[in-house]
Structure 1
Amino acid sequence: MKIGVICDDYWHPGKLVTEGLELLSEQGYTFHYIQHASEWSREWMNEHDAVVLAKSNQVSAVDETPWLTPDIQQQFQSYVEEGKGLLVLHAGAVGYRAEPLFYELVGGVFEHHPEACPVTISSLNEELGIAIAQGTYTIHDEHYFMEVIDERIQVFMQSESVHGTQPAGWVREQGKGRVCVLTPGHFLHVLQHTDYQATIKNAINWVSAARS
């Protein structure tokens, strides 16, 4: 399965994402990475079964200029509607509140986070087969607080810390395609956590199984 990965910004180095997904490369997934927004094109997206967005709205780690133009938002929307998959992973939800097409496509965006702390991840919906069945585990991570469009999303995983409870994983479908959002993953040990690795793998499989 060919998966395109868009990553790298000031707070989330591309190396973190590539190392976090490396273990999945041993399970039949081929990842193609771009770390500078200038490398993005719709043609590049079309070459892949799904795209993982793990980049905030910055051109690169050294250029904080927003990269998600209205035209690129429309391209993401049509990519999904035509039957492809989009997985928004951690940083991929950051900095997009003012981008209406993207916000509506993914169903929610990052709002804020307290300092990193123990965060407990729990599965809420086993029928989707994405989060680990009856799985609950605690990780040290940034606890993302999200602004979501409740009527547009189906939450299957939640995160809880001393600061409160938040949706940590949700899905939605648009047109012939599928979107999944996973909020954990600021640190490498989180991305490489056995249960979260399984969730990422299941999410990739779910968004890639779009309707023809």
Structure 2
Amino acid sequence: MNKFTILLGDFYHPAPNLQASLEKLYLNNSQIQLNFVNIEAINESLLNQTDLLIIGRENRINPKDKILQYWMDEQKANDITQFVQNGGSMLVCHSGLSSYEQNDQYIQLVKGYFKFHPKVQQIVNYHNNNQDHDSFSFLDEHYFVSVDEQNTEIFLTSTSVDGESIAGWRHTYGKGKVCCITPAHHKEALLHHDMLKLLEHCTNWCLE
């Protein structure tokens, strides 16, 4: 059995949205155990019992306040990095790339971070670069990201009226694996059949 530890939900991204997608894929799969946790639970002890860590929440705890607080401190970043180095896998989804720029260890691990998205949502086209899953389109926040392209594999790109960006990348790190994807924001997009196929493809790659 593969055990998934899943951290979701922030001010702009309600946890039930991505949770619904993961449950639709895996809730009735006897070979997958889903464990949804809060930020306090992310520690070395829990990660030692995990096959795949999924992060789908931004780093800011209080994005509307003048003095910002962040959930990922040096100890959590170190625990997550050691987990991957020792052979664990991590899938970073959408907001899991946001507001982590000040955490150098995490950025080195995932090799990318969110820069901005246009205020008005548009149809975003996601283009598969490797022919291992289909290209697709839906209404979404078009995430523009910075990625260390020389040290990861780009497998998904995105285009809209606002421009073009990288949308999916993956790499090994120590004995483990890291996969990052920028879609999707709304519940409707997260439950889109092509988004579900992308999530399944990414989790399968992480567990290979």
Q: CA deviation at 1:39?
A: 2.6
Which amino acid in structure 2 is aligned with residue 121 of structure 1?
A: Y
**Is residue 2:136 matched to residue 1:137?**
yes
Instruction: Compute the displacement of 1:24 (Å).
Output: 1.0
The residue number in structure 2 matching 1:33 is 36
Give the number of equivalent residue pairs. 202
The structure-2 alpha-carbon separation of the partners of 1:65 and 1:48, relative to structure 1 and needing over 3 Å to count, comes to: same
Gap change, CA 1:46 and 1:60, over 3 Å in 2: farther
Query: Map of 1:10-25 to 2, 5 A cutoff?
Result: 10-25=11-26
Task: Give the fraction of aligned pairs with identical amino acids, expressed as a percent.
Answer: 27
By how many angstroms is 1:73 displaced?
A: 1.0
Matched, 1:47 2:49: yes
* Contact 1:9-1:62 within 8 A present in 2 as well: no
1:149 pairs with 2:148? yes
Q: For 2:100, what is the secondary structure of its paired residue?
A: coil
Q: Which residue of 2 aligns with 1:203?
A: 202
- In structure 2, distance between residues paired with 1:2 and 1:24: 14
Per-residue Cα deviation, 1:95-134 (whole angstroms, up to 9, x for no partner): 00111111011010000001211001110013xx4xx1xx
1:90–1:183: 8 Å Cα contact kept in structure 2? yes
Per the TM alignment, residue 14 of structure 1 is displaced from its structure 2 partner at its CA by 1.1
Contact 2:42/2:76 (<8 A) preserved? no
Does residue 179 (structure 1) correspond to residue 178 (structure 2)? The answer is yes
Unmatched runs of 5 consecutive residues or more in structure 2: none
**1:193 corresponds to which residue?**
192
Aligned AA (2:174):
G
Query: Is the contact made by 1:21 and 1:191 (CA closer than 8 Å) also made in structure 2?
Result: no
Q: What is the TM-score with the length of structure 2 in the denominator?
A: 0.91
123, 127, 139: which is aligned to 2:128? 123
In structure 1, the residue matched to 2:92 is 88
Residue 8 (structure 1) aligned with residue 13 (structure 2): no
CA RMSD of aligned residues (A): 1.8
Corresponding position of 1:164: 163
1:113 equivalent in alignment to 2:117: yes
